[in-house]
Amino acid sequence: MPSLLINNASGGQLVISGAQWSGQLVPVGGVQFRLDTLASGAVYIGLSGGMTVRSGGLLDGMVLNPGDGHFVPKLGYGPSGNPQIRVLADSTASGQALLFYEIY
């Protein structure tokens, strides 16, 4: 399973860009994320650029605490276009959070 070392870069780190299932309208597939149990803080997963953390706005990501998993279904991307999945660590996990992911 691939993994990334996540930091606290402005706007988040790009994990997925583009439509891996372009033109397919069937609701199958997606990306499974799991944060390492040894991570020192939380990681946020968002479906757009310009992510923020705990701002209370639309760009906040789904929070993953150490050991948590999150599945982003293909329908979250849409059938075409240029969707993106970005991840961002909070300040305590920056540079230490290992995030695993698998594309189905």
pTM of the model: 0.74
For the chain of 104 residues, list the mean pLDDT of each consecutive stretch of 10: 74 68 62 91 78 57 90 64 76 83 84
Return the pLDDT at 8. Answer: 73
Return the pLDDT at 67. Answer: 95
d(CA 91, CA 9): 10
Q: Which long-range contacts (CB under 8 A, 24 or more apart) does 74-78 make?
A: 74/21, 74/24, 74/27, 74/28, 74/29, 74/30, 75/27, 76/30, 76/47, 77/19, 77/20, 77/21, 77/47, 78/19
Return the pLDDT at 65. Answer: 94
Q: For the chain, give every domain's residue range.
A: 3-103
